[in-house]
Amino acid sequence: MVNIDTVYQRVLAFANKEQRGYVTPQEFNLFANQAQMEILNQYFYDVNQFGVRGGNDTEYSDMLSVLQEKLSELEVRTIDQPVISGVYDHRTIDDLYKLGTITTAGDTGVEIEQVNNNEWYHMRSAPLTRPTLTRPVFVNRIDGLNIYPSTIDKIDISYTKSPNTPSWAYFVVNEKALYNVNDSVNFELHSSEETELIYKILKFAGVAMKRDDIMRAAQNMEASQVQQEKQK
């Protein structure tokens, strides 16, 4: 978790430096959500890139482990989800961001492999490849997850949830916004992402205020941070 007030105060400190401008709470909240989702999207992009690379490269293996640790903060597991007539409607999961592992229900559950429509049509036509209780599959269709064989009536699901929308709440006292800790919502990202959030929010603010100096400064800070991490 990253404290939203800490991020906002650091953004203000930079934006106000040398009279660069003021980021209102409303603007900050908008940029904060954009920054959080951009970082989350980057996680999955990087995971996919490492998967394509493959191999036993220790450096990339370590980086993948770090990404998985960061994603673990948003991982949810639900058990004994009902499958009705061979279909599980995953759209009922309000906070679903990305599906993870799906297994048949129980302590000895079997992982259900995802296949596409073409693969399913080929599999069902051959006895040797037809799905069974020990080799189940699912197809993600518009009506939900179609589970095969259809005799499976319950499943366990792991998924990455959408993070809560960050919000810096405030009271107005003497025309000044004062932090309201009780109604605020912190970032649901790993604590190590605090500096990255600040960089991204500053870049968004620079675009919104049409201030190239803020954008350039934020980009330079981000590049410097990346270089420092590479040297570790």
Q: Which pLDDT value is given to residue 191? A: 93
* pLDDT band of 14, cuts 50, 70, 90: confident
Which residue is associated with the tokens 């490849």? 129
* H helix or E strand, kind and range, residue 231: helix 212-231
Q: What is the pLDDT of residues 24-35, one digit of tens each?
A: 999 999 999 999
Strands 176-179 and 113-114, by their bridges, are unpaired
Q: Which pLDDT value is given to residue 216? A: 62
* pLDDT band of 53, cuts 50, 70, 90: low
Q: In the sheet where 137-141 sits, what is the strand order?
A: 87-88, 144-148, 137-141, 113-114
Average pLDDT over residues 7-20: 79
Tokens for 189?
């990202």
Q: Which pLDDT value is given to residue 2? A: 96
Q: What is the pLDDT of residues 99-143, one digit of tens each?
A: 999 999 988 899 999 999 999 999 988 888 899 999 999 999 998
Please give the share of the chain, as a percent, with pLDDT higher than 70. 82
Average pLDDT over residues 43-51: 82
* pLDDT band of 66, cuts 50, 70, 90: confident
Contacts of 147 (CB under 8 A, 6+ apart): 83, 86, 87, 88, 112, 136, 137, 138, 155
Tokens for 158?
């792991």
* pLDDT band of 153, cuts 50, 70, 90: very high
